Amino acid sequence: MIASKPAAAPADELFACAAPQLFAAQQYRKDFPILSQEIHGHPLIYLDSAASAQKPRMVIEAMQRFMENDYANIHRGVHELSVRSTDKFEAVRETVRRFINAASTNEIIFTRVGTEAINLVASSWGRKFLKSGDEILITALEHHANIVPWQLLRAELGLKLRIIPITKEGDIRLEDVKAALSPRTKLVAVAHVSNALGTILPIKEIITLAHAQGALVLIDGCQGVVHMPVDVRDLDADFYVFTGHKLYGPTGIGVLYGKFDVLKQMPPYQGGGDMIASVTFEETTYKDPPHRFEAGTPPIVEVIGLGAAIDYVSNIGMSRIAQHETELLHYATEKLQRINSLKILGTAPKKAGVISFVMEGAHPHDIGTILDRQGIAIRAGHHCAQPLMDILGVPGTARASFALYTTKDDVNALVDALGKVQEIFG
Partner 1 sequence: MMDGIAALDADLRDLYQDLILDHGKHPRNFRKPGDVSREALGHNPLCGDRLIVYLTLDADGTIVDAAFQGSGCAISTASASMMTEMLKGKTRAQADTLFKFMHMACTGAGEIKTAGLTQDEIDRLHALAGVRHYPMRVKCATLAWHTMQAALSALPKASTE
195 or 374: whose CB is closer to ligand PLP? 195
Active-site position among 159, 384, 398, 411: 384
When binding is defined by CB under 6 A, the residue of 100, 180, 191, 355 that contacts ligand PLP is 191
Pick from ligand PLP, partner 1, none: which does 243 bind, CB < 5 to 8 A by kind?
A: ligand PLP
Pick from ligand PLP, partner 1, none: which does 233 bind, CB < 5 to 8 A by kind?
A: none
When binding is defined by CB under 6 A, the residue of 185, 223, 347, 401 that contacts ligand PLP is 223
Active-site annotation holds for 222: no
Task: Report in angstroms how near the CB of residue 148 gets to partner 1 at its nearest.
Answer: 14
Point out which residues bind partner 1 (CB under 8 A): 40-42, 361-366, 369-370, 373-374, 380-382, 386, 389, 395-396, 420, 424-425
Number of C-alpha atoms within 13 angstroms, CB side, residue 91? 16
Could you say which residues in the range 225-244 bind ligand PLP, by CB under 6 A? 243
Could you say which residues in the range 129-168 bind ligand PLP, by CB under 6 A? 143, 145-146
Pick from partner 1, ligand PLP, none: which does 305 bind, CB < 5 to 8 A by kind?
A: none
Pick from ligand PLP, partner 1, none: which does 222 bind, CB < 5 to 8 A by kind?
A: ligand PLP
146 or 374: whose CB is closer to ligand PLP? 146
Cβ(295)–Cβ(275) below 8 Å? yes
Pick from ligand PLP, partner 1, none: which does 124 bind, CB < 5 to 8 A by kind?
A: none
Angle (CA) 52-27-224 rounded to 5° is 35
> Does 384 engage in binding with ligand PLP (CB under 6 A)?
yes
When binding is defined by CB under 6 A, the residue of 58, 92, 109, 113 that contacts ligand PLP is 113
Residues of this chain that bind ligand PLP (CB under 6 A): 113-115, 143, 145-146, 191, 195, 220, 222-223, 243, 245, 254, 384
Where in the sequence numbering do the catalytic residues fall?
384
